[in-house]
Amino acid sequence: MAVLIAEDDFVARAFLEKTLDSIGHQCLSAEDGLQAWEMFQKSNVRIVITDWAMPNMDGLTLCQKIREAKSSSYVYVILLTAKDTKEDAIKGFQAGIDDYIVKPFDPQELKARIRAGERIIQLEDEYKKAQAQLLHAEKMASVGQLAAGVAHEINNPTGFVSSNLRTLSDYQKDIMGLMEEYKKLIKMLDDEAGKKRLPPCAVEQTKRILDREKEIDVEFIVNDIMDLIEDCKEGTGRIKKIVLDLKDFAHPGEDKVQTADINKGIESTLNVVWNELKYKAKVAKEYGELPLIECYAHQLNQVFMNLLVNAAQAMEKQGEIRISTRADNGYVEISIADNGKGIPEENLSRIFDPFFTTKDVGKGTGLGLNMAYNIIKKHQGTIDVESMIGKGTTFTIRIPVGN
């Protein structure tokens, strides 16, 4: 963890740097408050140790500016001062300091105060992590409930449409049988008309029927009706599969270890997110033979969903997403690659951090990949990323078969 030191006395500053180095902290050192403030704005320090009396900007002003900056992470500020009255301490705490040490200070005391600050920072980080996970859990529960409701609403009309199509198919078979008998009768009547054995009205009616058959191409209609019915039955079957996959994908409360087929999980997820992918990318699949694994199947589907949607969003025009799986030395390995715009090298080390996103405001929370990382970690697995600007990105997930 980096520590920012603001101290105008060279000897005191060097002593602070040596003390911090002995407990494994990197130091950023400033000779006055103004320089420290400029360094703070460009860095990601979590602990600041500042002298009170300094040129250009004193320690209290520095502390106030740090508090006003409203950093996304809490910054622990320790004030060094030769002032030791109660009034001075009150002034310091009112300015926003967390702790103070009276000069000359004992190195062991400074180390102990820093350790206390680290514990507070850790607690704050854990609280934010728990809050983010709770937020995500609530979000997924809402998605699950919505999915269950949508599935119910779709299933009802799909059910009776499918039933009606089956009945219509049966009716069509009966009608076609009856029509065959009509056609035989018409042919017989036509033969008799040619022999002038029928009254003129029957001859005229027979001719009208034959002409009408030719006009509407009854043979084509009969065959096409069956094709249309089959297409409708196939469509309702696909809707049913989508609904089942949707319910299975985001069903609230199903957070338990179960035996799962990773290939089937990916297929189910593809079915759910297909509308997000079909206009942006072709999907190439190469599934290996995988053993069943004990896992939180629904959570892994969330990971696959996030990576697939991200891959599609990385496409500036029509691209390709490649999915491959294989078994490897007690692990199941999943690779999801795209040929999108890629991730800048300076962002690769941060993409799994909570709230980090390169998407436009309102288009991403920065929690998706952090969630994916935590789910894979929960499975005692790994998730790695390789990317090149203009070439694309590959995520590789490895999950042990037996957790």
Q: How high is the pLDDT of residue 21?
A: 85
Question: Does residue 114 sit within a domain?
Answer: no
Residue 388 and residue 342 in one domain: yes
Residue 244 and residue 281 in one domain: no
pLDDT grade, residue 322 (50/70/90)? Answer: very high
Residue 243 and residue 264 in one domain: no
pLDDT above 90 as % of the chain: 17
User: Which residue among 219, 249, 279 closes a domain?
Assistant: 249
> How do residues 335-378 score in pLDDT, each as one tens digit?
999 998 888 888 887 788 765 565 544 444 456 787 888 889 88
Q: Which of 16-20, 60-64, 98-102, 137-141 is predicted with the least confidence, judged by mean pLDDT? A: 137-141
> How do residues 23-59 score in pLDDT, each as one tens digit?
888 889 898 889 999 999 888 888 999 999 898 999 8
- What's the domain range around 42? 2-105
> How do residues 253-304 score in pLDDT, each as one tens digit?
455 788 889 999 999 888 878 877 888 889 999 999 999 998 888 888 888 9
Query: Which 3 state secondary structure label does DSSP give 68?
Result: helix
Closest to 285 measured CA to CA, from 270, 307, 300, 297: 270
For residue 385, what are the CA distances in angstroms to 92, 319, 343, 367? 46, 19, 10, 16
Q: How high is the pLDDT of residue 299?
A: 83
Q: How high is the pLDDT of residue 160?
A: 66
Residue 154 and residue 79 in one domain: no
Q: Which of 222-236, 237-251, 292-306 is predicted with the least confidence, judged by mean pLDDT? A: 237-251
Residue 232 and residue 158 in one domain: yes
Question: Does residue 208 sit within a domain?
Answer: yes
> How do residues 109-128 score in pLDDT, each as one tens digit?
888 888 888 888 888 888 77
Instruction: Name the residue type at position 102.
Output: V
Q: How high is the pLDDT of residue 255?
A: 59
Question: Does residue 280 sit within a domain?
Answer: yes
Closest to 16 measured CA to CA, from 96, 87, 113: 113
Question: Does residue 187 sit within a domain?
Answer: yes
Q: How high is the pLDDT of residue 151?
A: 61
Q: What is the mean pLDDT of the chain?
A: 80
pTM above 0.85, yes or no: no
pLDDT above 70 as % of the chain: 83
315, 380 in Cβ contact below 8 A? no
What CATH number is given to the structural domain containing 42? 3.40.50.2300
How far, in Å, CA of 361 to CA of 388, rounded?
A: 24
Is a pLDDT exceeding 50 seen at residue 212? yes
Residue 207 and residue 231 in one domain: yes
pLDDT grade, residue 184 (50/70/90)? Answer: confident
Residue 302 and residue 373 in one domain: yes
* Number of domains into which the chain is organized: 3
378, 297 in Cβ contact below 8 A? no
